Structure 1
Amino acid sequence: MTVQQQQQHREFLKSEPGVEPILVEGLFRASPERIFRAFTEPEDVHAWFVPNSGNLVSAEIDLKVGGRWRFVIEKTAEKQIQFEGEYLAIDPPNRLEFSWRHVQEFADGRREATDASHVTITFTETGKATEVRLRHAAIKSEDARRGVGGGWDGCFGRLADLVAA
Structure 2
Amino acid sequence: MPHTVHTIRLHRVLKAPPQRVYQAFTTAAALAKWLPPHGYICEVPEFDARVGGRYRMAFVNLSTGGRSGFGGEFLDLEPGRLVRHTDRFDDPHLPGEMITTITLREVFCGTEMDVTQEGVPAVIPAEACHLGWQESLQLLTLLVEASVPG
Pick the TM interval, shorter chain: 0.7 to 0.9
Q: Which residue of the other structure, out of 41, 48, 68, is the alignment partner of 1:55? A: 41
Equivalent of residue 88 in structure 1, options 68, 71, 75: 75
Read off the aligned partner of 2:87 and give its amino acid letter. W
* Aligned partner of 1:34 among 13, 20, 23: 20
Superposition misfits of 4+ residues, deviation over 4 angstroms: none
Q: Which residue in 2 is equivalent to 1:114?
A: 95
Shift of the 59–51 alpha-carbon distance from structure 1 to 2, 3 Å rule, reads farther
Check if 1:101 corresponds to 2:82: no
Counterpart secondary structure, 1:83: strand
Structure number with higher strand proportion: 2
Q: CA deviation at 1:160?
A: 0.6
Superposition TM-score, scaled by structure 2 size = 0.81
Q: Which amino acid aligns with 1:117?
A: M
CA distance in 1, matches of 2:93, 2:39: 26
Offset, 1:103: 1.6
| SS of aligned partner of 1:21 | strand
Contact 2:6 2:122 (C-alpha < 8 Å) held by counterparts: no
- Which runs of 5 or more structure 1 residues have no equivalent in the other structure? 1-18, 105-110
Paired position in structure 2 for 1:150: 131
**Structure 1 contact 25–131 (Cα < 8 Å) conserved:** yes
Q: Secondary structure, in 3 states, of the residue corresponding to 1:56?
A: strand
Rounded to whole Å, the distance in 2 between the matches of 1:150 and 1:134 is 14
Name the residue aligned to 1:68.
54
Q: Structure 1 or 2: larger helix share? A: 1
Whichever residue aligns with residue 95 of structure 2, its letter is: T
Percent of aligned pairs sharing the same letter: 25
CA shift for structure 1 position 58:
2.7
Deviation at residue 142 of structure 1 after TM alignment: 5.7
145 and 83 in structure 1: CA distance in 2 versus 1, 3 angstrom threshold: farther
Give RMSD over aligned pairs: 2.3
2:10 paired with 1:24: yes
Displacement of 1:59 after TM fit?
Answer: 5.3
- SS of equivalent to 1:157: helix
Distance 1:53 1:139 in 2: 22
In the comparison of the two structures, how many residue pairs are matched? Answer: 139
**SS in structure 2 of the partner of residue 138 of structure 1:** strand
- Residues 76-127 of structure 1 deviation map (CA, whole Å, 9 limit, x = unaligned): xx974212111111111101111111224xxxxxx66521011111011011
The residue type equivalent to 2:143 in the other structure is L
Question: Are the equivalent residues in 2 in contact too, given 1:52–1:158 (CA < 8 A)?
Answer: no
